């Protein structure tokens, strides 16, 4: 049995902590949000409401002997960095940190983090492999409230770039792939200046509400 410290109980941290605990490990879960701590308390060894950016937090909790500390904080880069520095200060040897962007990853590398997870990128690459086979789309593991659809390019989008249709800002929807016969398209990781053709098929990922709004808007 190993001892793990999981910091940040968003979806990533929650599922990581609970799965490690189910596998028989000793897991302490930490977050500033009491509701998140409450939701996980029966599924880990110990759940604590604490601020990991406070230099005294880890000393007070006595977690200097954990095998691995996982920093799952991603939304606020500064909090992620401070947490890592605090863990290093108390001598935690094995630190794993989540990155949400390439700049975030670079900063973590600069301060000496060798084990960096990039779950959004890794998920996108896995999704790309599955999207290559349309029959696998229904089996993509998506968060609750989110979905993935195939959408034939609406007439009002034909001849426009992804930047011009601006689906991310308008609907919170991300174009993760373009399937079709259009010349010059890279199927996955499309670029903002990619021009949409009538024969293309968009693979869209986003909140169900945004996807529904987009579908309604394009039918008008």
3-state secondary structure 115-184: EEECHHHHHHHHHHHHHCCHHHHHHCCCCCCEEEEEEECCHHHCCCEHHHHCHHHHHCCEEEEEECCCCC
* Distance, CA of 216 to CA of 113 (rounded, Å): 45
Written as six digits, the tokens of 119 are 């779950």
pTM of the predicted structure, to 2 decimals: 0.58
pLDDT at res. 129: 44
Confidence band, pLDDT 50/70/90 cuts, at residue 133: very low
- Mean residue pLDDT across the chain: 84
Domains and CATH numbers, the chain: 3-117 (3.40.50.720), 122-218 (3.30.70.1450)
Confidence band, pLDDT 50/70/90 cuts, at residue 151: confident
């Amino acid at each position: 049995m190993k001892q793990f410290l999981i910091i940040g109980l968003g979806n990533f941290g929650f599922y990581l902590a609970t799965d490690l605990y189910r596998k028989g490990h000793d897991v302490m879960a930490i977050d500033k949000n009491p509701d998140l701590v409450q939701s996980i308390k029966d599924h880990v060894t110990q759940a604590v409401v604490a601020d990991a950016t406070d230099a005294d937090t880890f000393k007070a909790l006595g977690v200097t002997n954990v095998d691995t500390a996982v920093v799952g904080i991603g939304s606020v880069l500064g909090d992620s960095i401070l947490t890592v520095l605090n863990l290093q200060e108390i001598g935690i040897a094995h630190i794993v940190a989540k990155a949400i962007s390439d700049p975030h990853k670079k900063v973590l590398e600069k301060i000496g983090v060798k084990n960096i997870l990039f779950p959004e990128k890794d998920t996108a690459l896995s999704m790309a492999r599955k999207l290559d086979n349309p029959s696998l789309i229904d089996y993509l593991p998506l968060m609750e409230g989110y979905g993935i659809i195939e959408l034939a390019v609406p007439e009002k989008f034909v001849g426009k770039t992804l930047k011009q249709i601006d689906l991310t800002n308008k609907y919170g929807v991300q174009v993760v792939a373009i399937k079709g016969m259009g010349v010059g398209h890279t199927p996955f990781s499309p670029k903002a200046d990619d021009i949409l053709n009538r024969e293309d098929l968009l693979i869209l990922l986003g909140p169900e509400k945004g996807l529904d709004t987009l579908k309604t808007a394009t039918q008008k």
